[in-house]
Chain A
Amino acid sequence: MLALMPRLRRFAVGLAGNPADGDDLCQMTIERALTNRSKWTEGTRLDSWTYRIMRNIWIDEGRKTTRRHETFVAEEAGAGVGGDGAQESAVELSNVDRAMQKLPEDQREAVLLVMVEGYAYKEAAEIVGCPVGTLNSRLVRGRDALMGMLGEAQ
């Protein structure tokens, strides 16, 4: 589990959209995993099981956090227009972060699981709890959207 931590954090930050919320999500995931450790079946993949916990927490609770954060950033960015550098002290989101934040949740998690975490489609579908075909189509839509937003950046 400890060896899994760096990857879990990466997934959490990707889902939540920023390191602070990501670490909160990661912390909640560890706590829930420890509480439910008896439900983990020996011999199955601990990483998939833990990713699924994280993903479910994010769906259940993370949305509010993310939404709050987006509102906060939007206001701050607006206030910073024409300001004297106040904007720079606000949370700076990179192009990739911004593009990821604009993806619908189902596409974002599919993109992260396959393209960042390196899961096979089948494994990613099991974590999300959907058919492989569904995951595949979410992934393609997510990719298309990202390529559209990041087209110039590439």
Chain B
Amino acid sequence: MSITREEIAAFADGQLSPEREAEVAAAVASDPALAEEVAKHRALKAMLQGHFAPIAEEPVPEHMAALLRPEPQPEVVDFAAAKERREEKRKLPSWGWVAGPALAASLAIAIFLPRGSDTPDGYADAQLASVLDQTLVAEQTGSADTRILLSFQNDDAEFCRAFSAPDGGGIACRDDKGWQLEALGEGSEAASTDYRMAGAGDADILAIAQELAQGPALDAEAERKAREAGWR
């Protein structure tokens, strides 16, 4: 049986067909010269593998790995994130309308969230609640610190009152827990002046009230009735 040099190499590499491999294996077993050839092939292979192995074990250079990373798509991501943020805002039930740019510009959101003794967050404190409970637009005096601008009913048929105060006006609506603050605007009066005028803050609050209101503002008679009913 003649065995070519190619076949000896292929035998050493385990690349012969099963039948041929058996034949060559028998020949190698009985011929020390062939066995030495096979051993040399295998030693060379082990030497080459050992020589090149460290390269494959090195960390891949960063500039190459970077080529294979998914390309960043900042615009898409940003748009998606921005959209999410916008939708997050929209979900806020009572603040969504504040997003109107003209309003947002002149509104200081959440200037105060009173934490009174038994006042839940986001509700008018006792002092403000007292004014909201008692004061009628027709009766109040011009010198009062906190003035009611108008009263109305919102979409949920709650009574709401827009008020103006030195340290920040706003809108409060009466629910079963108290006067929930729906909007807070800037103070309508500069600390230095004695004159009470409808300032920019009041105008913004009235604009918001218009959006919140279901129907026209209450007239004096309706306001009185509402107060008698406890604004419920």
Contact = CB atoms under 8 A, between A and B. Distances in A.
A154 B43 contact: yes
B72 interface: no
B49 A5 contact: no
B52 A136 contact: no
Contact of A147 (B44, B49, B64): B44
Contacts, number: 86
B44 to A, nearest CB: 6
A94 interface: yes
Contacts of A147: 40, 44
A5 B65 CA distance: 8
B44 A143 contact: yes
Given A10-B52, A137-B6, A140-B9, A2 B65 contact: yes
Given A9-B56, A115-B44, 19 more contacts: A2-B65, A5-B65, A6-B58, A7-B56, A9-B58, A9-B60, A19-B55, A27-B63, A34-B67, A96-B47, A116-B49, A120-B15, A137-B6, A139-B9, A140-B5, A143-B9, A146-B48, A154-B40, A154-B43
Interface of B: 5-6, 9-10, 13, 15, 40-41, 43-45, 47-49, 51-53, 55-58, 60-61, 63-65, 67-68
16 contacts: A5-B60, A5-B65, A5-B68, A6-B56, A10-B52, A13-B52, A14-B52, A30-B64, A34-B68, A94-B51, A115-B49, A121-B13, A136-B10, A143-B41, A144-B5, A150-B47
